[in-house]
Amino acid sequence: NAGVTQTPKFRVLKTGQSMTLLCAQDMNHEYMYWYRQDPGMGLRLIHYSVGEGTTAKGEVPDGYNVSRLKKQNFLLGLESAAPSQTSVYFCASSYPPPGDGYTFGSGTRLTVV
Amino acid sequence: AQSVTQPDIHITVSEGASLELRCNYSYGATPYLFWYVQSPGQGLQLLLKYFSGDTLVQGIKGFEAEFKRSQSSFNLRKPSVHWSDAAEYFCAVEGGNKLVFGAGTILRVKS
């Protein structure tokens, strides 16, 4: 009963470094999402995918790229990290709307110094 | 585009007292509405959802919410708060294949 699994859970990057966050779900959900959470701003959508091989931009896509090569995985990449990307990142998955709501991972805390 | 406003950043209630967290949404079509709860250092857990039908919906942990179309509101309520309810609560509206969240309300419970 893993649900949505995010790796890593914590990461510190230096400005300009790159990294990839992995999200894996085992619920056969079509839709997957990446959000970032910052204090006082709720969760803001970065990118999302409505099926294998598809991606779309959300509210705050700049500086991020994503890929959905397999239905169960959704990768979030930072090509050149900036301090403004310090945040907690959440992955979520769902059935097509109206579904039963989203299932969230436990988050990745990223610090860019 | 849809949006959600949670007017209260922080709320403090005494244990055993009633609770109401406010949520106002903006969306042109019939909204799908959600409340999520987040404990410190954790992910988000779904409390309840509204799609259609009865405007008073029941959720987990004794929470309920009422959809009022005329007021564009979806307020969360609980008749008697427990110390374990201290957390951050997020209202969200789904539209256009995505969920849009409010900024959240932090609930503090005093004994």
What pLDDT digit, counting tens, does each position of B16-60 carry? Answer: 999 999 999 998 777 899 999 999 888 899 999 998 888 999 999
Taking an 8 Å cut-off on Cβ atoms, the answer to whether B102 and A58 are in contact is: no
Residue of A nearest to B103 (CA): A42
pLDDT at B41: 84
**Peptide bond before A8: cis, by omega within 30 degrees of 0?**
yes
The pLDDT of B72-98, averaged and rounded, is 94
pLDDT at B29: 79
Residues in chain A within 8 Å Cβ distance of B36: 101, 104
Distance, in Å, from the CA atom of B15 to the CA atom of B105, rounded to the nearest integer, reads 17
Residue A108 pairs in a beta bridge with A89
Distance, in Å, from the CA atom of A90 to the CA atom of A68, rounded to the nearest integer, reads 16
For testing contact with chain B, the best of A102, A106, A108, A109 (most B CBs within 10 A): A102
Instruction: Express each pLDDT in A75-113 by its tens digit.
Output: 999 999 999 999 999 999 999 877 778 999 999 999 999
- The chain A residues in contact with chain B (CB within 8 A) are 4, 31, 33, 35, 40-45, 48, 50, 56, 58-59, 90, 92, 96-98, 100-102, 104-107
B98 — pLDDT class (breaks 50, 70, 90): confident
A1 — pLDDT class (breaks 50, 70, 90): low
Distance, in Å, from the CA atom of B62 to the CA atom of B74, rounded to the nearest integer, reads 16
What ranges make up the beta strands (E) of B1-111?
A: 3-5, 10-14, 19-21, 24-26, 32-38, 44-50, 56-58, 64-68, 73-78, 87-95, 98-101, 105-110
Contacts of A99 (CB under 8 A, 6+ apart): A31
The pLDDT of A38-43, averaged and rounded, is 89
**β-bridge pairing A43-49 and B64-68:** unpaired
The pLDDT of A16-39, averaged and rounded, is 96
Residue A7 pairs in a beta bridge with A22
The pLDDT of A68-80, averaged and rounded, is 97
The pLDDT of A6-15, averaged and rounded, is 96
What ranges make up the beta strands (E) of chain A?
A: 4-7, 10-13, 19-25, 31-37, 43-49, 56-57, 64-67, 73-78, 87-94, 103-104, 108-112
CA distance B79 to chain A (A): 24
Nearest neighbour of B102 by CB, restricted to A42, A45, A56: A42
For chain A, the residue count is 113
Picking from A80, A76, A65, A64, the residue whose alpha carbon sits closest to that of residue A112 is A80
How high does pLDDT run on average in chain A? Answer: 94
Picking from B109, B103, B104, the residue whose alpha carbon sits closest to that of residue B16 is B109
Residue A57 pairs in a beta bridge with A47
Q: Is B48 helix (H, G, I), strand (E, B) or coil?
A: strand
